[in-house]
Amino acid sequence: MSETGNSGDAGARSTRGRILAFAAGLFARHGYHGVGMRDIARGAGVNVATISYHFQSKVGVLKEIVREVLDTYKQVIRSAHDVPVPPGERILGYVRAVIHLFREHGELALVAST
C-alpha cells in the first residue's frame, strides 16, 4: 500500500491525520521552532515530500492544526449554546465544554495557543 493508501481519499485523509497528530505532539513537547519537517516525517512514517504535498510547509501543518482546534472549539461552543437554559447556566455550560475540549485534545489546544 502506498503512503496515500489504495483507498484513494480515505488513505490520503489517513496520511494527513497521521502527520497532523504526530506534528501536534512534537509541537506541544518541543515548540514549533524545536521541530523540523524531517522530525515530523520520521514520526509519521512519511517522507518530507509527502508533508509538502499535503501542507506545503511546516507553517501549513501548524495552520491546519490550529484550524482543526478552532473548528472543534466552535462546535463545542455551538452545542453548549443550543441548550435552552438561563444565562448563568449557559456560561457554566460553555466553561465545562471548553474544559472538556482541553482535556480531550490537550496537545492540540497547547499547540494552538503557542
Within-domain flag for 68: yes
2, pLDDT greater than 50: no
Q: Which domain holds residue 67?
A: 9-113
Domain count, the chain: 1
Within-domain flag for 4: no
Mean pLDDT across 64-77: 85
Q: Name the 3-class secondary structure at 3.
A: coil
Helix 87-104 × helix 58-81 angle, to 10°: 150
Within-domain flag for 84: yes
Residue 6, φ and ψ in degrees, nearest 5: -80, -10
1, pLDDT greater than 80: no
CA distance 58 to 35: 9
Residue range 3-50, pLDDT digits in tens: 434 445 666 679 999 999 999 999 989 999 999 999 999 999 999 999
Which CATH number characterizes residue 14's domain?
1.10.357.10
The pLDDT-based confidence of 103 (bands split at 50, 70, 90) is: confident
Within-domain flag for 24: yes
Q: What is the DSSP letter of 33?
A: G
The single residue listed with the C-alpha cell 444565562 is 87
CA distance 32 to 58: 9
Within-domain flag for 2: no
CA distance 39 to 27: 10
Within-domain flag for 1: no
Within-domain flag for 3: no
CA distance 87 to 14: 41
**C-alpha cell belonging to residue 85:** 437554559
Q: Identify the residue with better confidence: 93 or 52.
A: 52
pLDDT at 85: 86
